[in-house]
Amino acid sequence: MAASRTIRSSSPPNRRSEPPQSSLDLSVTRLPGIGDDSRKLLERLEIRSVGDLLWHLPRTYLDYSTFTPIRSVRAEHDQTVEAILGHIGQRRTARGQLMTEVELLDPADSTATSVRATWFGRQFIKERYPEGQLVRLSGKVKWFGRTLQFANPKIESASAEAVHTGRIVPVYALTDGLKEGHLRRWLHTAVFGGAKRTAVVREVPEPLPDEIRERRGLLPIQDALREVHFPSTWPDLFAARRRLAFDELLVLQLALGQRRERWRRDAKALPLRADDATAERWVATLPFALTGAQRRAFSEIRADLAQRVPMSRLLEGDVGSGKTVVAALAARIAVASGAQAALMAPTELLAEQHHRSLTELFESRGGSSGAGAAAREATRDATAPRTALLTSSVTGTARRAIIDALASGELEVIVGTHALVEEAVTFKRLGLAIVDEQHRFGVRQRATFREKGLDPHLLLTTATPIPQTLSQTVYRDLDISVLDEMPSGRQSIRTEVRPHDALPKVWPWVRQRVALGEQAFVVTPRIEEDPEDDVPSAEATFRDLAAKDLAGLRLALLHGRMPARERDEVMRRFADREIDVIVATTVVEVGIDIPNATVMVVLGAERFGLAQLHQLRGRVGRRGQRAYCVLVSEKAEESERLAAMTERKPGTDDPLDGFDLAKRDLEIRGAGEFLGERQSGAPELRIVDLADVDPALIDDTAAEADQLLATDPQLERPEHGSLAEAVAALWRRYALA
């Protein structure tokens, strides 16, 4: 590796003795060139100490490492030249800006040249670089009339150390007022020591035991930091990034491994069991036959529930794959074992729907149609769990009664929103908590229940699958059941992306669908209009459609600020086909099940995540009938992202599923949100992009973390001190513990 080669230029001839405190902890103002104003600017980037500065890693790099002879300079490329400065002129442009213009002479042949360099507003150029000086220039070249020009290139004296030109140049995240050249210079000083040759990077302690470093072929930490800021070559940069990524993943694996061990040690869940005959009877009385995937998931869950170690299982299945019934069966096991179950939904509307579905599933006598409510009541299964709904619209004595019945154990299954069930309720014997459509899987729920002294089995459901790289790191302690099979008869929903101008054609078409007896959703990003912008709002859209384009149809408005009772009423009427078109916000996003709805029009579609759009689309065609989704977007430049909604899987006719779309979203938004509640201002992982990290690195770090924790579970040994500190810092960064 190039390690020794890079240390060369930074090794001070005779190092002074170490100060008692590490320079890394000192204020950045200890570095030459950083005064009080710069300190304030850096503070905005959360950089306070010299160590913080050293860990401000480049955002990207410019390859200025190859020199081009002046006569070979071409337009539209980043290039680096060595040149003698010819005549230097300065003038004001028509707009009053100072322009400095320099003729560049070829050092090999100082007569011929047709290349110039120009700068705008940089007085210092003329002051610092006199005519006749040999310099290095790096930057983009453009045609200007008949001459080639470097436009605002970076410049250094040819005899100076290469910092900004003639090398692979780091590019850093900046803040208003902070000059990129200054920041790069300070980092160069931190890494190579500058004039005083006191490189603070030499004080960074090596956190990895040598054994691991050698086994995995990793650069020493100081070399890695040097190379990541000022790479000698591209391979050196990759080696440096690999080393830093390794550390970051190892710390993550250690933190998660310790948490996993803590959970396992303190585990005290109730073992929940149902015998085969009983379980079979439940399945047989459902209104439909389970898919193979549902059966598989159910038996995996049954096996987990029987254990004393609390289950942490994720039930992953695309929209419409039938997660609710699996959850309902799990709840029955809890109840059959004398425990309680809680089903938590992301919205009240959805909680209401789940309550309806669960009640129906529990009381089903088999066969999908026929039995009306009265008949069902007459043949009510005596073992059907006693189930109640708790939303914010359940108030007064009804609410009191539910809360009391949960505390006494008389109520066996409670359905509500996350917040209500987690925070507002005491249970007699909570055995199973089911969290529907949750994206930060389980971490918060475990913690909340723990605080109440409970340790229920946890079943999490999601239509947004976890990329493998996350399931092998952040969610290594989650077991996963996948519903990879749709109930029969589902067909894909025809999806189109349309510009705003197409709406005059969309609405008459919606009218036609309604005339055929179908129903439609129109979804907007906002509830109310804002005069400041033209983001579509539910209220304005509803008003306009009722007055014009869809006049005469039965329209209704639905959004989260309406009282829950009104919303419920609208949904009931929609389900009973008393309403043709619902104009709504994303309150209809997750799980809502209206059998006869076939049209989903999303306005301002660019404002939604892909997984969210996929969820919205999943609201229509629920019974396998032909269904449509029209994504209307005002933003042409966004349409590439939206186009993913209409893409096919390579080599097939299948549309991208929730998994593919979630992965696209993850690539766009980053993985930070999967890690849990981030403390405000805390940085994301610095190096690792969990959306596409090398899987081999994940395996390596997982293996090393397991081995480290096996010999030193608390990381108490002195040689693990830095790692222990890094783990503690990670816990502080994400309120995870």
Footprint of ligand ADP on this chain (CB under 6 A)? 288, 290-291, 294, 317, 319-325, 463, 487, 591, 593, 622
8 Å CB contact between 632 and 603: yes
Please identify which residue in 591, 618, 655, 658 interacts with Mg ion, judged by CB under 5 A: 591
Burial of 469 per CB tally in 10 Å (0-12, 13-18, 19+): buried
8 Å CB contact between 298 and 315: no
The CA-atom distances, in angstroms, between 155 and each of 164, 173, 191, 448 are 7, 21, 21, 57
Instruction: Report how far residue 614's alpha carbon sits from residue 609's, in angstroms, rounded to the nearest whole number.
Output: 9
Residue 100 main-chain phi, psi, to 5 deg: -110, 135
Which conformational region is residue 655 in: left (phi greater than 0), alpha (psi within -120 to 50 degrees), or beta? beta
Q: Select 478 or 603, whichever has its Cβ closest to ligand ADP.
A: 478
What does 207 bind: Mg ion, ligand ADP, none (CB cut-off 5 to 8 Å by kind)? none
Residue 658 binds to Mg ion (criterion: CB under 5 A)? no
Q: Select 24 or 330, whichever has its Cβ closest to ligand ADP.
A: 330
The DSSP call for residue 679 is P
What does 229 bind: Mg ion, ligand ADP, none (CB cut-off 5 to 8 Å by kind)? none
Residue 231 binds to Mg ion (criterion: CB under 5 A)? no
Q: How far is the CB of 459 from ligand ADP (least distance, A)?
A: 13
Listed ranges 126-134, 558-566, 589-597, 728-736: which one lies at the site for Mg ion (CB under 5 A) = 589-597
Bridge partners, 101 (sequence order) = 89, 118
Q: Select 511 or 622, whichever has its Cβ closest to ligand ADP.
A: 622
Closest-CB residue for Mg ion?
Answer: 591
Q: How far is the CB of 434 from Mg ion (least distance, A)?
A: 11
What does 472 bind: Mg ion, ligand ADP, none (CB cut-off 5 to 8 Å by kind)? none
Q: Select 135 or 389, whichever has its Cβ closest to Mg ion.
A: 389
8 Å CB contact between 251 and 437: no
Q: Select 591 or 655, whichever has its Cβ closest to Mg ion.
A: 591
Strands 519-523 and 581-584: parallel
Query: Which residue is associated with the tokens 């700068």?
Result: 119
Q: Select 141 or 326, whichever has its Cβ closest to ligand ADP.
A: 326
Q: Select 193 or 618, whichever has its Cβ closest to Mg ion.
A: 618
What does 487 bind: Mg ion, ligand ADP, none (CB cut-off 5 to 8 Å by kind)? ligand ADP
- CA 218, distance to chain mean position in Å, is 29
- What sign does the dihedral 335-348-403-443 (CA atoms) show? positive
Q: Select 54 or 415, whichever has its Cβ closest to ligand ADP.
A: 415
Q: How far is the CB of 386 from Mg ion (least distance, A)?
A: 23
Q: Select 318 or 580, whichever has its Cβ closest to ligand ADP.
A: 318
Task: Map residue 139 onto helix, strand or coil.
Answer: strand
Helix (H) or strand (E) holding 415, with range, is strand 413-417
Q: Select 24 or 627, whichever has its Cβ closest to ligand ADP.
A: 627
The DSSP call for residue 682 is -
Spatial CB neighbours of 570, under 8 Å, sequence gap ≥ 6: 556, 557, 558, 562, 579, 582
Instruction: Report how far residue 558's alpha carbon sits from residue 566's, in angstroms, rounded to the nearest whole number.
Output: 9
What does 319 bind: Mg ion, ligand ADP, none (CB cut-off 5 to 8 Å by kind)? ligand ADP
Listed ranges 588-596, 641-649, 654-662, 672-680: which one lies at the site for Mg ion (CB under 5 A) = 588-596
Closest-CB residue for ligand ADP?
Answer: 322
The closest alpha carbon to 261, from 727, 733, 734, 735, belongs to 727
Helix (H) or strand (E) holding 88, with range, is strand 78-92
DSSP letter string, 281-297: HHHHTSSSPPPHHHHHH
Listed ranges 40-48, 107-115, 360-368, 591-599: which one lies at the site for Mg ion (CB under 5 A) = 591-599
CA atoms within 13 A on the CB side of 725: 9
Instruction: Report how far residue 121's alpha carbon sits from residue 92's, in angstroms, rounded to the nearest whole number.
Output: 9
Q: Select 34 or 466, whichever has its Cβ closest to ligand ADP.
A: 466
Q: Select 485 or 539, whichever has its Cβ closest to ligand ADP.
A: 485
Q: How far is the CB of 614 from ligand ADP (least distance, A)?
A: 11
What does 231 bind: ligand ADP, Mg ion, none (CB cut-off 5 to 8 Å by kind)? none
- CA 470, distance to chain mean position in Å, is 11
What does 593 bind: Mg ion, ligand ADP, none (CB cut-off 5 to 8 Å by kind)? ligand ADP
Q: How far is the CB of 593 from ligand ADP (least distance, A)?
A: 5
The DSSP call for residue 576 is T
Listed ranges 7-15, 289-297, 396-404, 587-595: which one lies at the site for Mg ion (CB under 5 A) = 587-595
Q: Select 48 or 577, whichever has its Cβ closest to ligand ADP.
A: 577
Q: How far is the CB of 562 from Mg ion (least distance, A)?
A: 22
Q: How far is the CB of 591 from ligand ADP (least distance, A)?
A: 5
Q: How far is the CB of 644 from Mg ion (least distance, A)?
A: 22
Q: How far is the CB of 347 from ligand ADP (least distance, A)?
A: 13
What is the total count of residues that contact Mg ion (CB under 5 A)? 1
CA atoms within 13 A on the CB side of 235: 3
Instruction: Report how far residue 214's alpha carbon sits from residue 410's, in angstroms, rounded to the nearest whole number.
Output: 61
Which x/- pattern over 542-581 shows residues binding Mg ion (rule: CB under 5 A)? ----------------------------------------
Listed ranges 46-54, 133-141, 584-592, 665-673: which one lies at the site for Mg ion (CB under 5 A) = 584-592
CA atoms within 13 A on the CB side of 495: 26
Q: How far is the CB of 354 from ligand ADP (least distance, A)?
A: 9
8 Å CB contact between 520 and 514: yes
The closest alpha carbon to 443, from 137, 138, 734, belongs to 734
Q: Select 360 or 719, whichever has its Cβ closest to ligand ADP.
A: 360
For residue 234, count other CB atoms closer than 10 A to its CB: 12
What does 433 bind: Mg ion, ligand ADP, none (CB cut-off 5 to 8 Å by kind)? none
Q: How far is the CB of 323 from Mg ion (least distance, A)?
A: 5
Q: How far is the CB of 357 from Mg ion (least distance, A)?
A: 9
Instruction: Report how far residue 677's alpha carbon sits from residue 242's, in angstroms, rounded to the nearest whole number.
Output: 27
- 348-363 and 564-575 helices cross at what angle (nearest 10)? 50
What does 257 bind: Mg ion, ligand ADP, none (CB cut-off 5 to 8 Å by kind)? none
Positions in the binding site for Mg ion (CB under 5 A):
591
